[in-house]
Structure 1
Amino acid sequence: MAERPKIVATNPVFPETKALLEEQATVVVNPALEPWPYEKVRQRCRDADGLLAFMTDRIDAGFLAACPRLRVIGAALKGFDNIDAEAATNAGVWLTIVPDLLTVPTAELAIGLMLSLGRNIVAGDRSIKQHGFHGWRAEFYGAGLAGATVGIVGFGLVGRAIAERLAGFQCRLLAYDQSVSPALMKSQPHVTMTGFEDLVAKSDYIVLALPLTADTRHIVNSKTIAAMKPGARLVNPARGSLVDEGAVADAIARGQLSGYAADAFECEDWAIVDRPTRIDPRLTASSAPTVFTPHIGSGVTEVRREIELSAARSILDVLAGRIPFGAVNDPRKQFAHAQSRSR
């Protein structure tokens, strides 16, 4: 009898996900909310055929070299900056992502962050819980979306979903994305495409909807912030390292920014060696005009279940010899290239 393949899941998974994988493989799942550290994941995967990976994991060439049996990494995420796709290809390992299921919940959260930041919802909630409610007072005045100019940096699936949801708020929408085609913009008549500098200078709210790459890291920095409208608000539902959090803290302290809302933070971008180890404490102070959520952009129960199942199906596809859904590489081409060079 052939040995069953082994699949490792580095974080807790839904029962349906585990059951699906166990139909074809022996499954090892981290049962705790605390993610396994890099070395423990690598140790667990030394004899694994498949890996169900999450945002908390870091997969690099050293990891892959220590896991010679690994054939597929099914990432339960869309952005894969924490996984070295080129190293996976060179190692003959498929890498798959879930390209579409995270779009709507992330866009919804972005709107929630904007409203919470502008209308002082979190500060008002905290005031009542700490001091009680004694009737209306002339405080917690903020900024609405009606009549505001909102700049969306990045106009892929998430950026467009944010724009669609903002269309009913009676705000002016600007967008910046160098890769968007004129044909696409014909379907977005309520959005004006513009340059990055123009968007930064005109927007009351700036929303980031970009992947994290070498080019986009710290796209919001001290220079960017200095060019913003005084009192602008910044919203980041994408990746933490798009923003220089120290520069944001400085700008809030001097009044250049009215506030910052984020669902992702520099300290969790594991692939960046010199990342901060914590959020700047000036941003987490109780008096700070900030709204933070713990990376829950896709945190809708049914959506998370479907994300896991999609990643699990991709893993099983590879183990069955099929081309997987959501593949971002094709290690067969690397193998064919190596074969041709050896002839």
Structure 2
Amino acid sequence: MRSFNYQRATDVSQATTLASQPEARILAGGTTQLDLMKCGVERPATLVDITHLQDLHDITLSDGELTLGTLVKMSQAADSKTVKTFAPALAESLSLAASAQLRNMASLGGNILQRTRCSYFRDPQAWSACNKRNPGSGCAALNGLNHNHAVLGTSDSCIALYPGDFAVALTAFDAVLNLQNSAGELRSVPVTDFFRLPSDRPDLEHQLAPGEMIVSLTVPRSATLARSHYLKVRDRSSYEFAAASAAVGLEMEEDNLTIKEVRVALGGVATKPWRAYQVEQALKGQRLEEKTLRKAAEKVTEGAIARQHNGHKIILAPRVIARALMTVGGLV
């Protein structure tokens, strides 16, 4: 690990100013940043500690939205009665992620910004060809072991998977990330727009500018959020990333038989948290029936591209969506 300078920020303005320096990185829980430093992917000259900024630790609820500070711990949000009541899919996505020890350390902002677990990306000593780590070098995963790589949102430059759960739930329910830069300027970016597709520049993963940091996130309150669910399918029952996951929400018509509104986002299969708009459109106004749900869920794989070892994700993804919708709809 490269030697680095350590600086503790006293407020957001100082943190963003320090973070705008060349080769500086923000440090919160450290569960992603330190991990990347240990494997040699990240080699920052300076770490800016923001963990003592108290105004970034709050969970608040208003008539219109739920707001979570960027330094709220994963475990704090997962266990929050407010989050469980008004946004159950968010709480479930957090409780199913990582381990109890990591959830007690990791911040929500850091969790959103976590980077891929692609083994070719995370082992620079063994693999030089990684466009995400070394632009223009190629992608070793294209013809390598790609069992856990993406089938949606890929390009010829990168098929690395976005690994998180929480951002998938945020994507389903139109969450917004609130960002602040070193000039004190604030801007809000929808989560659906925050993450970039790899295209020919997979090293550019999101819309966060140098010297800018996430200070909070807001989720609009809605009937679909209140009646929501997060389903995660994985190779083992705990401490494992998703083979496929789905965050869903339902609002029914007064007859309680017809779908009025629906929200669907997919994880574990794409290069970014994946909003399934085509599935939502196909289900609005339809009766809540298993056959209808399964048929609509198949639309999520339109445009999916399987590589040698990950074709199972194209089969699994619609089944996970349908199962999640049946669960929240009371059909199972």
Q: Which one has the largest radius of gyration?
A: 1
For this structure pair, what is the TM-score category when the shorter chain's length is used for normalisation? under 0.3
TM-score, normalised relative to structure 1: 0.23
TM-score, normalised relative to structure 2: 0.24
